[in-house]
Structure 1
């Protein structure tokens, strides 16, 4: 949960970062050197710096000033001088600006007990409990990077069984492997592989257990599908086009079809997104129930989010079995942290459960063989 700080004094010395880096800062990160686009002419290590994000990507690398559209992110202390930042040395990848006064009170947990903790948003924790993995099972995480849900699945199974994690981007797969190693989880096997091609079309069994896989190979499958990401917050700007948003539905259906084929009869399939559109959520559930009559929608435990959204032709009972999260507590907008210092811990927990990213969860069971 993020609370906006007020009355932060802007400094004359400025650093401009890219939009991706800016979003990370809004969510509690420090500014790392690769994210810095420009810095004031005489910036030295130890200076108090105002950090801005170039949301339109117009600032030139290495510029000494920038008058274009920029969003203030807060103040920090420079770890390096301007000359060091733009020296071109490839080994400079650490913290460039240590944020001391971010505009949102969302503290960084970077490297805090890394062998024990993996920080996730509330709905991302809930979705793994909804999947309810059991020791000894074979489970597929189809779109797994960076591995938060994957490692949570393995932990809930007490690291007993097999967790297959797929992602089609190699450096993201390496991140999954690193996280599994860091947390001491041996049940995870991560592969660089496109989930849409994970179903083996012939009947020759692969003795090495690598993708693609034979039909009905998995006890449970998590499809945390690629989506428009419109539930991510805080965010600086909404730049989605209609074409971009509508492009995800066919991909999600292709992945879902493969997941159904790979699931054993009696197995559980959980579909989730971090977006808020009807087309990527409830409409996908309605399509799945029409397309695969042997799938049944299931109630979810834990269920602490809201019900599904009307408009996709689902019954009221079906909508109650779905789970939506979002920033539903309107009075929190503009709230200053000082006004919450005397709040009861119970109230703070309630607010945290309500004021979160947009997220959607649906749980299915496969009643018979395809």
Structure 2
């Protein structure tokens, strides 16, 4: 939860960072050297400098000043001189500016009890509780990287059972394995594999728990689908195109039949995204219910977010069974620390819901076996 700091004195010495780096600073990070795009010509190590984000990507690497559109992020202390930053030496990849007066009081949790804590947004933690994994079960996280929800699933199961994590990008799979190792979770098996191909379509013998998998192999499945990511915040640059946004619904509809067929009768399927579009959320739920008669929409526990959005043809009862986190629908008023000290638990939940990322959750029960007919045909 972020609290804005006002009246920070801006310094004559300036540095400009890229939009991605700027978003990380707003979340509590320091500025790492590769993220610095521009720095004042007289900047040296130990200087107090003002940090700005180039949200349109117009600043040239190595510029001495930048007069384009930029957002103030706060003040920090440079650990390097301008000459060192732009020397091109590959070893300079550590912290370039240590933030001392960020505009938001959002503390960094990097290296804070790393084997005990894993930082997550509120909805990301809620979705795993909605899945409700139980010890001894076989769980599939179909699009798992970087592994926050995967490790949460294993923790809720007390590391008893089997958690299969799939992602088609190799370095992201390695990140899942690293997180599992760091947290001491032995029930997780991560594979570099395309989730759309995770269903075994022939009678080849099982290959010791590696993908692809036979139909009805899993007790619960989390489909945290690739999406347009419009709920991610803070975000310093809006670079989505219509083509990019509309490309996700077909991909989600390729993953969904795989998840349904891999799920055992009586099993739970949770579909989630970190976006706020109707097309990727409520429309997908309506499509799934009409395409797969074996699925029934279920109420969720805990229910912290709001209900679903109208416009996809779902009933009022169905909308109430969905969970949508959308901070844009309820503006967050200025809040100070004194107010929070006297807040009730319900008020804190309401405040957290307003100040979190945009997110969507739907929970399904597979009440009967999937038809042998391919639902995609």
TM norm structure 2: 0.93
Structural mapping, 1:62-73, within 5 Å: 62-73=62-73
Please tell me whether the aligned partners of residues 5 and 337 of structure 1 are also in contact (alpha carbons under 8 angstroms): no
The residue that corresponds to 1:321 in the other structure is 321
The residue that corresponds to 1:139 in the other structure is 139
User: How far apart are residue 146 of structure 1 and its match?
Assistant: 1.0
Structural mapping, 1:21-32, within 5 Å: 21-32=21-32
The residue that corresponds to 2:263 in the other structure is 263
Please tell me whether the aligned partners of residues 4 and 337 of structure 1 are also in contact (alpha carbons under 8 angstroms): no
The residue that corresponds to 2:197 in the other structure is 197
Per-residue CA shift, 1:113-167, capped at 9, x if unaligned? 1110001011100000000111111111111111110000000011111111111
Greater shift, 349-358 or 115-124, is seen at 349-358
Please tell me whether the aligned partners of residues 215 and 262 of structure 2 are also in contact (alpha carbons under 8 angstroms): yes
The residue that corresponds to 2:60 in the other structure is 60
Structure 1 Cα separation of the partners of residues 348 and 80 of structure 2: 38
Please tell me whether the aligned partners of residues 6 and 336 of structure 1 are also in contact (alpha carbons under 8 angstroms): no
Greater shift, 298-307 or 2-11, is seen at 2-11
Per-residue CA shift, 1:162-220, capped at 9, x if unaligned? 11111111111111111111100011111111111111221112323221212111111
Per-residue CA shift, 1:240-293, capped at 9, x if unaligned? 222221111101111111111111111111000111111110000000000001
Please tell me whether the aligned partners of residues 199 and 212 of structure 2 are also in contact (alpha carbons under 8 angstroms): yes
Structure 2 Cα separation of the partners of residues 296 and 330 of structure 1: 30
Are 2:66 and 1:33 equivalent residues in the alignment? no
TM norm structure 1: 0.95
The residue that corresponds to 1:177 in the other structure is 177
Are 2:297 and 1:277 equivalent residues in the alignment? no
Structure 2 Cα separation of the partners of residues 328 and 254 of structure 1: 30
The residue that corresponds to 2:97 in the other structure is 97
Greater shift, 348-357 or 309-318, is seen at 348-357
Q: How many matched pairs? A: 369
| Change in CA separation of 1:359 and 1:341 when aligned onto 2, cut-off 3 Å | closer
Structure 1 Cα separation of the partners of residues 157 and 227 of structure 2: 27
Greater shift, 324-333 or 199-208, is seen at 324-333
User: How far apart are residue 339 of structure 1 and its match?
Assistant: 6.6
User: How far apart are residue 329 of structure 1 and its match?
Assistant: 7.8
Structure 2 Cα separation of the partners of residues 348 and 363 of structure 1: 25
Greater shift, 198-207 or 236-245, is seen at 236-245
The residue that corresponds to 2:374 in the other structure is none
The residue that corresponds to 2:365 in the other structure is 365
| Change in CA separation of 1:196 and 1:8 when aligned onto 2, cut-off 3 Å | same
Structure 1 Cα separation of the partners of residues 330 and 308 of structure 2: 19
Structure 1 Cα separation of the partners of residues 366 and 341 of structure 2: 49
Please tell me whether the aligned partners of residues 328 and 355 of structure 1 are also in contact (alpha carbons under 8 angstroms): no
User: How far apart are residue 342 of structure 1 and its match?
Assistant: 5.7
The residue that corresponds to 1:290 in the other structure is 290
Structure 2 Cα separation of the partners of residues 329 and 194 of structure 1: 35
The residue that corresponds to 1:148 in the other structure is 148
Structure 2 Cα separation of the partners of residues 52 and 194 of structure 1: 39
SS in 2 for 1:50: strand
Greater shift, 248-257 or 346-355, is seen at 346-355
The residue that corresponds to 1:107 in the other structure is 107
SS in 2 for 1:332: coil
SS in 2 for 1:139: strand
The residue that corresponds to 1:344 in the other structure is 343
Please tell me whether the aligned partners of residues 143 and 224 of structure 2 are also in contact (alpha carbons under 8 angstroms): yes
SS in 1 for 2:175: helix
User: How far apart are residue 343 of structure 1 and its match?
Assistant: 4.3
The residue that corresponds to 2:354 in the other structure is 354
| Change in CA separation of 1:349 and 1:309 when aligned onto 2, cut-off 3 Å | closer
Structure 2 Cα separation of the partners of residues 194 and 139 of structure 1: 17
Structural mapping, 1:230-245, within 5 Å: 230-245=230-245
Structure 2 segments unaligned to the other structure (5+ residues): 371-377
Please tell me whether the aligned partners of residues 199 and 214 of structure 1 are also in contact (alpha carbons under 8 angstroms): yes
User: How far apart are residue 23 of structure 1 and its match?
Assistant: 1.0
Greater shift, 214-223 or 116-125, is seen at 214-223
User: How far apart are residue 76 of structure 1 and its match?
Assistant: 1.1
Structure 2 Cα separation of the partners of residues 203 and 271 of structure 1: 28
